[in-house]
Amino acid sequence: MRTEPLLAEADALLARGRAHNAERLLAPFVGREPENVGAWHRMARARLDLDDLNGALLAAQAAWHLDPYDVESLFWLSQARSRLADHAEAIAAAAAACREDPGNPRLHNRLAEAQLAAGLPTDAAEGLRVVADMARYDADLYVTYGLALFAIGRPLSAREALGHALAIDFGHTGARAALRKFDRAMSTAIDAASLALAADEFAESLRIHPGRQPSRRPGPGREALGHVARVSLVWFLAAIAGVGILEATGLLVAPTSLYLTLFAAAGAAGCVSTLARPSH
């Protein structure tokens, strides 16, 4: 198989969330062509998606050894190091990538993510403040900027950053998930002291400690399923109430089986909605 079609197929599999298939496709290829840097990048991404962190690090290191100045190699090396809580190395790799390509907002975003994972929200917020104006088209960067701002106790600025992300991409799942996290964190903030505590707890929730995996953002399919389930639950409950009202007024005689069906459907929708909710 020629290289470009294979890598394109791996990209398509990864975009569809089929990391296992991508990893199986790439494994024999990197065995035959271990000098292919792009294949190692995709292998690192697939293994990260599969939570094979040591395997991801090995793939990222293979790419980095082939080309230590390649920003994509540095990106995946940083990503794997962060997930393994090797924060100094993760920050160093991301910073090196930024030096190689200072105009690339994706690399600055990776550096800020590495700093948040290391418990350095002030560094992350300051770094993104400097590059935010040049990356006004990058929704992911503004989401990370919002997380950093909230973690240093600036909730209004954080919401403004997420508003900008949604202006770029109205359906951005990361921005909407962050807003929900903000609402939960702010539910306990009633004064300056409690706001500071909420910000500290929020910053701590972004950290990655050795042996602890970060919360994974739900994919768009899971988000859509949860939304449909919540809407369905509302409609089933409304139908139950409507049938009850009609029966109480004598306009309808509803069989018991109708109530059982509606209650079962509502229960199923409620279960799906709960299971589709992102974990934190």
Domain residues for the domain of 240 are 220-276
Q: 163, 184, 213: which is the final residue of a domain?
A: 213
For residue 97, pLDDT over 60 is answered with yes
Q: In the structure, what pLDDT confidence band is assigned to residue 130 with cuts at 50, 70 and 90?
A: confident
Longest CA pairwise span in the chain (Å): 79
Residue with tokens 């924060």: 87
- The listed range with the strongest mean pLDDT (161-165, 188-192, 210-214, 275-279) is 161-165
Q: 213, 241, 263: which is the final residue of a domain?
A: 213
For residues 36 and 120, state if they share a domain: no
Whole-number mean pLDDT of the chain?
85
For residues 208 and 191, state if they share a domain: yes
For residue 225, pLDDT over 90 is answered with no
**Which pTM value belongs to this model?**
0.74
Token couple for 64: 């980095």
Q: In the structure, what pLDDT confidence band is assigned to residue 220 with cuts at 50, 70 and 90?
A: very low
Rounded mean pLDDT, 40-51: 95
With a CB cutoff of 8 Å and minimum separation 6, the contacts of 15 are: none
User: What would the 3-class secondary structure string for the chain be?
Assistant: CCHHHHHHHHHHHHHCCCHHHHHHHHHHHHHHCCCCHHHHHHHHHHHHHCCCHHHHHHHHHHHHHHCCCCHHHHHHHHHHHHHCCCHHHHHHHHHHHHHHCCCCHHHHHHHHHHHHHCCCHHHHHHHHHHHHHHHCCCHHHHHHHHHHHHHCCCHHHHHHHHHHHHHHCCCCHHHHHHHHHHHHHHCCCCCHHHHHHHHHHHHHHHCCCCCCCCCCCCCHHHHHHHHHHHHHHHHHHHHHHHHHHHHHCCCCCCCHHHHHHHHHHHHHHHHHHHHHCCCC
For residues 169 and 123, state if they share a domain: yes
pLDDT at 189: 82
pLDDT at 43: 95
Token couple for 29: 């290829």
For residues 160 and 227, state if they share a domain: no
CATH number of the domain within which 45 lies: 1.25.40.10
Q: How far is CA 75 from CA 98, 119, 152, 238, 251, in A?
A: 9, 19, 25, 50, 66
For residues 236 and 200, state if they share a domain: no
For residue 219, pLDDT over 60 is answered with no
For residue 237, pLDDT over 70 is answered with no
CATH number of the domain within which 115 lies: 1.25.40
Percentage with pLDDT > 70 across the chain:
79
For residues 107 and 209, state if they share a domain: yes
For residues 90 and 110, state if they share a domain: no
For residues 78 and 57, state if they share a domain: yes
For residues 144 and 90, state if they share a domain: no
Q: How many domains does the chain have?
A: 3
